[in-house]
């Protein structure tokens, strides 16, 4: 069963992600680190397509991030400008906001919450 987040919850999650980022700076994860919950390495997740719940590709994973080089907790997602209006900036998405389905990561939040996500400045 698939669940979509209501806009208020998505904004709350985005605010929490922003607060976490402000408290502990994120860094890129080493390529060979296994990402919990996805049973694949950070290198394998890198460049994986990101879709909306309807299966439309809206971006790709730019980087796997964490508070240390071996503790993944988030992704930097490069949103596709031809499919979205989220701007040119990569956005930080917590791992618990995506799930692996059919070889792609499905982003489980409405578009209104995405612009509130922290910007990843590599």
Domains, the chain, ordered by start: 7-120 (2.30.30.240)
DSSP state of 97: G
Give me the mean pLDDT over the 56-70 stretch.
93
Read out DSSP for 26-95? -EEPPTT-EETTTTEEHHHHTT-EEE-TTS-EEEEEEEEEESSTT-EEEEEEEE-TTT--S-SSEEEEEG
Average pLDDT score over residue span 14-36:
75
Kindly indicate the confidence band of residue 25, based on its pLDDT and cuts at 50, 70 and 90: very high
Mean pLDDT of 93-97: 96
**Rounded distance between C-alpha atoms, residue 112 and residue 69, angstroms:** 31
């Amino acid at each position: 069963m698939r669940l979509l987040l209501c806009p208020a919850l998505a904004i709350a999650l985005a605010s929490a992600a922003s607060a976490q980022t402000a408290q502990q700076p994120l860094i890129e994860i080493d390529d060979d680190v296994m990402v919990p919950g996805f049973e694949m390495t950070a290198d394998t997740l890198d460049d994986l397509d990101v879709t909306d719940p309807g299966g439309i590709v809206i971006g790709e994973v730019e980087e796997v991030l964490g508070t240390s080089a071996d503790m993944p907790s988030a992704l930097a997602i490069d949103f596709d400008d031809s499919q979205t209006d989220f701007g040119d900036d990569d956005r930080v998405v917590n791992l618990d906001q995506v799930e692996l389905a059919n070889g792609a990561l499905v982003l489980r939040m409405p578009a209104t919450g995405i612009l509130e996500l922290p910007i990843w400045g590599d």
